[in-house]
Amino acid sequence: MIKAQTDRDLRSNQLLDALAPESRSRIDPHLEPVDFKLGAVVCEAGGHLRHAYFPRGSVLSLLTVLENGDAIETANIGREGAFGLFAAMYSRASFNRCIVQLEGHTVRCPIELLQHEFDSSEHVRNLLVSYSETLLSQVQQTVACNAMHSTEERICRWLLMMHDRAEGAVLPYTHEFLSQILGANRKSVTLAAQSMQAAGLISYRRGTIQVLDRAGLEKTSCECYAIVKQRFDAFLTPPTTAVRSQLQ
């Protein structure tokens, strides 16, 4: 669903804002605002991508889909980044199912335009490769977290990431949703959430979760949240050698 938005809305994405002025001036006229509903599928795994999507308030979730139809989140994307950059750099196919995890504004850009900027601008290449490497590090950290850490630690990690992206708003999630997104047993998620609520970390009622004790949530979480956050805080200043010339 395309809606008219202000110029300020179109600039409220950290990755877009980090582009050099000359690249941004070529991209801006082609940005289209898109509003998705919670749970909407932006692209299926294996789907053909015509646009890259830059959240500016929404959160997108990348899901790995198994043969039996089960899916588990391996990364999520907020206003710091974008979905579809691998398509701009390498191929048009999406490796994951991408769904809307938090409603909000998003802008999209034609893949062809980003491909041209990637091919012609060293700054754009460095920036997109730096972001893509950082997103991959989130995927790797999530895999390790899901395999090694307790359900409560994983819930804390996920809620902290969503709390950052939602800018402190109440989160519209059920225990069933958490169990699906984390690939965890529903009963273990319910017990962990009850324990967290009893400890005063969160408040849960009628399918909404509110963070009450941010510091306590960080203390209860595993190390994965802090590691991923540190990496994303640094990706906007990639080393100048992030992409090397073929002549080197």
Q: Which listed CATH number (3.30.830.10, 2.60.120.10, 3.30.9.10, 1.10.10.1150) goes with 7-145?
A: 2.60.120.10
pLDDT for 89 equals: 76
Instruction: Outline which parts of the chain fall under CATH 2.60.120.10.
Output: 7-145
**Contact call for residues 118 and 91 (beta carbons, < 8 A):** no
pLDDT for 240 equals: 57
Block residue for tokens 């062809």:
112
Residues whose CB is less than 8 angstroms from the CB of residue 20 and which lie 6 or more positions away in sequence, other chains included: 121, 123, 124
242 CB-contact burial (10 Å; exposed 0-12 / middle 13-18 / buried 19+): middle
Shortest CA distance to 112 belongs to which of 104, 103, 123, 120? Answer: 120
pLDDT for 241 equals: 55
Cα three-residue angle 11-23-248, rounded to 5 degrees: 130
Phi, psi at 10, each rounded to 5°: -70, -15
pLDDT for 106 equals: 94
Could you please state the CATH topology (level 3) that the domain comprising 150-221 is classified under.
Arc Repressor Mutant, subunit A (1.10.10)
**Contact call for residues 92 and 46 (beta carbons, < 8 A):** no
210 CB-contact burial (10 Å; exposed 0-12 / middle 13-18 / buried 19+): middle
Instruction: Outline which parts of the chain fall under CATH 1.10.10.10.
Output: 150-221
Phi, psi at 241, each rounded to 5°: -100, 20
Regions of the chain where pLDDT drops below 50: 1-11, 245-248
